[in-house]
Amino acid sequence: MNIQQVNSHEELLKFLKNNEISYVLIYKEGSETSECALNNLNELEPKDSHTIFAVNVKKVRDIHTHYNITTAPTVLQFEKDKMLNSIKGCQTKEYYKSLISNSFSVFSNKNGEEKKQKPVTVYSTPSCPWCNRLKQYLKENKIKFRDIDVSKDQKAAEEMVKRSGQQGVPQADIAGQIVIGFDKKKIDQLLNIKS
């Protein structure tokens, strides 16, 4: 995994402008939680990810303040130099892999045109009718997604609750943005679905 240290906000902006999608880890050297995030990101295979830019708040003071980040570790997601999302705390290697690998996968829409798609993970249970409706809606719109059955995966269920503060399903993680329930309007907005 390629993790590149960044020494100033000015340097970060140069890197961000050269990449369509970028991830920046804000961490605090010596912090157990920060070391957890750094280690889990380091374990990703190079093919799973792009370069991750890392900022040690003990040495670099102008980046986390610029983006109003008060918690380390936090992963920031950027599209060019525009911050899209922040994910606080240490996440699992699998979560980071899901978030970062295929940040935008290519798919063909209804007209056969190729489009880029944000990564989508759906947390669901087999007995939940709204979960099935959400997954059907994504399939109808040719949105690729990863489905996690939280009734069988306790660790994923705990991670879902930790991130959203909610136990109910369905929940969708769209490029790090949590959508609770089948919120069609929000899903359409996040995935550029014209309905």
Q: pLDDT, tens digit, for every residue of 105-119?
A: 444 444 545 456 788
- Where do the CATH 3.40.30.10 domains begin and end in the chain? 3-100, 105-191
Instruction: Kindly report the CATH class assigned to 3-100.
Output: alpha beta
Write phi, then psi, for 176 (nearest 5 degrees).
90, -10
- How far apart CA 17 and CA 11 sit, in angstroms, is 10
Under 8 Å between Cβ of 55 and 44: no
**The pair of three-digit structure tokens given for residue 174, joined into one six-digit string:** 């769209």
- The helix or strand, by DSSP H or E, that contains position 12, with its residue range, turns out to be helix 9-17
Q: pLDDT, tens digit, for every residue of 2-37?
A: 789 999 999 999 999 888 788 999 999 999 999 999
| Superfamily per CATH, domain 105-191 | Glutaredoxin (3.40.30.10)
What's the predicted TM-score (pTM) here? 0.57
Which residues, given as ranges, of the chain have pLDDT below 70?
Answer: 1, 46-50, 101-116, 195
DSSP string for residues in 135-173: HHHHHHTT---EEEETTT-HHHHHHHHHHHS---S-EEE
